[in-house]
Amino acid sequence: MRMSIHRLLAGALAAAFIVAGPAAAQQKLKIGFITTLSGPPAIIGKHMKDSVELALDHLNHKVGGLDTEVIYGDDQFKPEVGVQLAEEMLKKHQVDFVSGIIWSNVMMAVMPVVTGAGHIMVGTNAGASPLAGSQCNELYFSASWNNDQSPEALGKYLTDKGVNELYVMAPNYQAGKDMVAGLKRYYKGKIVDEVYTKFQQTDYQAEITQLRSKNPKAVFVFYPGGMGIQFVKQYVQAGLRDQIPLYSVFTVDETTLPALKEAAIGQYEARFWSPDLDVPASKRYVADFEKKFGYTPSYYGAQSYDGIMLIDSAVRATKGNVKDVKALVHEMRKANYNSVRGKYQFNVNQHPIQDFYLLQAVKADNKDGAAMKIVQKAFEKHKDAYYQECKMKW
Amino acid sequence: MTWALVFEQLLNGLQYGVMLFLMAAGLTLVLGIMNMVNLAHGSLFMVGAYFAVAAMQWTGNYPLSVVLAFAGTLVVGMLVEVIALRALYNRDHLDQVLATFGLILFFNELISIIWGRGSLYTALPSWLQGHVTLFTGSRYPVYRLVVLGVGLLVAVVLWYVVTRTRLGMLIRAGASNRTMVAALGVNIRLLYTVVFGFGAALAGLAGLMAGPIYAVQPGMGELILIQVFVVIVIGGIGSIRGALVGAIIVGVVDTLGRAFLKPFLATLISAPAAEAAGPALASMLIYLLMAVVLALKPAGLFQSR
């Protein structure tokens, strides 16, 4: 008798699975998230992945009301690996959206694959200029910014503040040149010298000695990742922190503060977001992030969180009909969600028109002993420099 | 003013060269004496830096952390030799390159698992943070001078060990004719382990001194390893003297190139052309130098055998 009840139950369960299985599968939303999870830049990938996980928590694992599965991929910093991942996600996992991507060169390779397959790509860091201009695409949205915008905002701030003399340094590769070009678009003062160092250079003592001999009023640098840690440490050790103000973009942030600590204090950065930004969605994101993961989130994470929220808003508005890509694009263009950067609008190239801030690293009562704080708004409703080259009609 | 600047840049170059020497000394010994291509030398540099950070956090005592990191890297180096590299001495160089490349991946991943992906924080004790005023009037970080001093001290000690001690005699003999040394009853296996261990410890010393200047992160050793190979090719494989001279030449040429090549070119060609050519040429300079040395003296400046 007992046996037969067990069997009956098992049979009923199996039947329930058979009935429920396909129905649930239809309702499921799949998002492919590509970032870098190996090598030195993996710290950025960790910030992004953790933020996606937090976004899923906040949405009860139902993006746009649908059961959601996120498939993560490690691009290993390589465009060709990114393309492989995107193809695998689209064909094998049948994802509805692809999101993430740190590097502009990876994005330039992956975006055509995703949009070519008729799916929406939501970039959450890479800000390659062609994608904001001549190669803009209806199916490509940026939840971050165009590369030039941060140095542009800093250039504008320096001009507004009357800093009439600037010494400029960047690594000698495309992004380094782009950052300096962006700065110059809005910086009207005199550039004392423009120094390009070897990509992945470790020692900057020679350049710092040259810099000091010119005695400029201020210094602008772009040194992402480990290069930034090295440059800033050596700048401070040379005793220049109190003598010449150091302004930078993508150099000092929450991914490098744990390695810099008090050496960062006094650094100026321009950025669209900071953990202390006074926006309810941002405050919730930062507080819950710190609680769940035990460290301070960075803009890389904030953008990735925002990317998921953007997808959520569109899927919700189309009542979960993710096959209707046209309707999804229509809804995403409205940017109708509580962004961590506050309310914003998309430009015609589907890149945000947003505010930029001047940040300063200050002493703080946290694990790192330092934190980024907003000093003032540097650029209001800033449009990127390329949208006029985008021929898209809404 | 300009001569003061040139002097300061020479000092920078010397200091950078000494840093390279610490790495090159170990690598050239291993390559010259054991005929072993060790790409994982950069990993031992990284291990030294991480050990110093960990020991500093653990003990809070800077000199003690230096000693612990040095000893720790020595032990790791000897373990690597005993466990992994011993089997490779009789294999050809390609096998050694593959195996030690594997070690790079292994160490990078192990470090990431233990200490995480992000860069670690390292601070100097306050007595090393200050500046000295040079006779030219500019301020120079004390720590950079300490690095310079330690590097030169190591050079002197190595010179003494190699030329004046029994161990040094065996090392030189091993570099000249290993079969004969073994035939004379010297435990060449043990000698190799010791040499490799001290080579590793020197890389670790370079790493622990680089920690406060560079970013302590997985893969940090590979960034400096290429320059170190240039140093030993210029200096002559297996020669400590060659490593010292090569390192200082590379350090000074690289530094002066980065500092003065662009302004110098601007006096010869148009400013925008110099703007483009200067940094590109400066980053190639040490490789050009290596090509010239190889063309004139294919075995490097100081031949060891």
Q: Which residues of B touch A200 (CB under 8 A)?
A: 223
Per-residue pLDDT tens digits for A280-312: 999 999 999 999 999 999 999 999 999 999 999
Q: Residue A220: beta bridge partners?
A: A168, A247
Distance CA B19, CA B31 (A): 19
Distance CA A163, CA B47 (A): 43
- Selecting from B138, B215, B254 the residue whose C-beta is nearest the C-beta of A230 gives B215
| DSSP H or E stretch at residue A325 | helix A325-332
Distance CA A375, CA A270 (A): 10
C-alpha distances (whole Å) from B138 to each of A210, A240, B260 are 12, 12, 18
Structural contact between residues B186 and B169, judged by C-beta atoms closer than 8 angstroms: no
* Averaged pLDDT for residues A247-258: 95
| A318, A319, A320, A325 alpha-carbon torsion, rounded to 10° | -20
* Domain match, A263 and A132 both: no
Distance CA A168, CA A191 (A): 7
Per-residue pLDDT tens digits for B58-71: 998 999 999 999 99
pLDDT higher than 80, residue A107: yes
* Averaged pLDDT for residues A149-162: 96
Chain B: residue whose CA lies nearest to A254: B118
* Domain match, A254 and A329 both: no
Q: Which residues of A touch B282 (CB under 8 A)?
A: 198
Chain A: residue whose CA lies nearest to B2: A213
| Residue A390 belongs to a domain | no
Structural contact between residues B195 and B32, judged by C-beta atoms closer than 8 angstroms: no
* Averaged pLDDT for residues A10-33: 61
DSSP for A240-276, please give it: -TTTS-EEESSSSSTTTHHHHGGGGTT-EEEES--TT
Looking at residue A73, what is its pLDDT? 96
Q: Count the neighbouring beta carbons within 10 Å of the beta carbon of residue B92.
A: 9
Looking at residue A5, what is its pLDDT? 54
* Domain match, A60 and A186 both: no
| Residue A2 belongs to a domain | no
**Helical spans, DSSP H, in B81-141:** 93-115
* Averaged pLDDT for residues A90-117: 95
Q: Hey, what are A19's tokens? A: 């009935």
- Selecting from B16, B19, B213 the residue whose C-beta is nearest the C-beta of A233 gives B213
- For chain A, give the number of residues: 394
| Residue A387 belongs to a domain | no
| Residue A5 belongs to a domain | no
B258, B275, B287, best to mutate vs chain A, most A CBs in 10 Å: B258
* Averaged pLDDT for residues A229-238: 93
* Domain match, A87 and A103 both: yes
**Which residues does chain B have with pLDDT short of 50?**
305
Structural contact between residues B218 and B46, judged by C-beta atoms closer than 8 angstroms: yes
* Domain match, A66 and A89 both: yes
Q: Is A266 left (phi over 0), alpha (psi -120 to 50) or beta?
A: left
Looking at residue B31, what is its pLDDT? 86
Residue identified by tokens 């670790």 is B204
SS3 of residue A122 by DSSP: strand
Within 8 A by CB and 6+ apart from B52, the residues are: B65, B66, B68, B69, B122, B207, B208, B211
Distance of CA A85 to the CA centre of its chain: 19
C-alpha distances (whole Å) from B119 to each of A40, A229, A255, B192 are 8, 8, 8, 34
* Domain match, A246 and A164 both: yes
Contact between chains at B117 and A256 (C-beta distance less than 8 A): no
Per-residue pLDDT tens digits for A156-187: 999 999 999 999 999 998 889 989 999 999 99
Q: What is the residue range of A82's domain? A: 29-145+277-350
How far A227 CA lies from chain B's nearest CA (Å)? 8
pLDDT higher than 60, residue A22: no
Residue identified by tokens 């006779």 is B135
Looking at residue A6, what is its pLDDT? 59
Q: What percent of chain A has pLDDT over 70?
A: 93
Structural contact between residues B197 and B64, judged by C-beta atoms closer than 8 angstroms: no
- Selecting from B9, B118, B216 the residue whose C-beta is nearest the C-beta of A255 gives B118
Q: How confident is the model at residue A204 (pLDDT cuts 50, 70, 90)?
A: very high
Chain A: residue whose CA lies nearest to B212: A233
| Angle at CA of residue B118, ends A200 and A280, nearest 5° | 115
Residue type, B282: A
Q: Hey, what are A349's tokens? A: 């190239």
Number of Cβ pairs < 8 A linking chain A and chain B:
114
Q: Where are the domains of chain B?
A: 2-119+135-296
| Greatest C-alpha distance within chain A | 94
Q: What is the DSSP letter of B125?
A: -
Phi, psi (rounded to 5 degrees) for B141: -60, 130
Q: Is the ipTM of this complex over 0.90?
A: no
Within 8 A by CB and 6+ apart from B286, the residues are: B227, B230, B250, B253, B254, B257
- Selecting from B116, B217, B258 the residue whose C-beta is nearest the C-beta of A206 gives B258
How far A350 CA lies from chain B's nearest CA (Å)? 32
pLDDT higher than 70, residue A24: no
Chain A: residue whose CA lies nearest to B257: A206
Looking at residue A199, what is its pLDDT? 87
Looking at residue A342, what is its pLDDT? 95
| Residue A257 belongs to a domain | yes
Query: Can you say whether the dihedral through the CA atoms of B297, B299, B302, B305 is positive or negative?
Result: negative
B2, B5, B6, B12, best to mutate vs chain A, most A CBs in 10 Å: B12
Q: Which residues of A touch B143 (CB under 8 A)?
A: 237
* Domain match, A254 and A298 both: no
Distance CA A362, CA A369 (A): 8
C-alpha distances (whole Å) from B46 to each of A110, B42, B220 are 34, 6, 6
CATH code of the domain covering residue A84:
3.40.50.2300
Q: What is the DSSP letter of B132?
A: E
Looking at residue B135, what is its pLDDT? 79
Distance CA A220, CA A189 (A): 12
Phi, psi (rounded to 5 degrees) for A358: -95, 125
Q: How confident is the model at residue A19 (pLDDT cuts 50, 70, 90)?
A: very low
| Residue A168 belongs to a domain | yes
pLDDT higher than 50, residue A23: no
**Number of domains chain A is built from:** 2
* Domain match, A265 and A284 both: no
The answer to whether B215 faces chain A, any CB pair under 8 Å, is yes
Q: How confident is the model at residue A8 (pLDDT cuts 50, 70, 90)?
A: low
* Domain match, A175 and A283 both: no
Q: Hey, what are A276's tokens? A: 């202390």
**Helical spans, DSSP H, in B177-219:** 178-183, 188-210
Structural contact between residues B265 and B274, judged by C-beta atoms closer than 8 angstroms: yes
Structural contact between residues B154 and B25, judged by C-beta atoms closer than 8 angstroms: yes
Looking at residue B197, what is its pLDDT? 94
Distance CA A316, CA A385 (A): 32
Phi, psi (rounded to 5 degrees) for A167: -105, 130
Q: Count the neighbouring beta carbons within 10 Å of the beta carbon of residue A4.
A: 8
* Domain match, A223 and A282 both: no
- Selecting from A206, A238, A368 the residue whose C-beta is nearest the C-beta of B259 gives A206
Question: What is the CATH number that goes with domain B2-119+135-296?
Answer: 1.10.3470
Distance CA A201, CA A197 (A): 7
| Residue A214 belongs to a domain | yes
Q: Which residues of B touch A370 (CB under 8 A)?
A: none
- Selecting from A202, A210, A261 the residue whose C-beta is nearest the C-beta of B223 gives A202
The answer to whether B279 faces chain A, any CB pair under 8 Å, is yes
* Domain match, A245 and A366 both: yes
Q: Print the SS3 string covering A134-195.
A: CCCCCCEEECCCCCCHHHHHHHHHHHHHCCCEEEEEEECCHHHHHHHHHHHHHCCCEEEEEE
The answer to whether B218 faces chain A, any CB pair under 8 Å, is yes
Looking at every residue in chain A, the average pLDDT score rounds to: 92
Phi, psi (rounded to 5 degrees) for B85: -85, -25
- Which is nearest to B23 in space by CA: B147, B167, B176? B147
Chain A: residue whose CA lies nearest to B284: A198
Q: Hey, what are A136's tokens? A: 């803009």
The answer to whether B255 faces chain A, any CB pair under 8 Å, is yes
Distance CA B296, CA A303 (A): 56
Structural contact between residues A182 and A133, judged by C-beta atoms closer than 8 angstroms: no
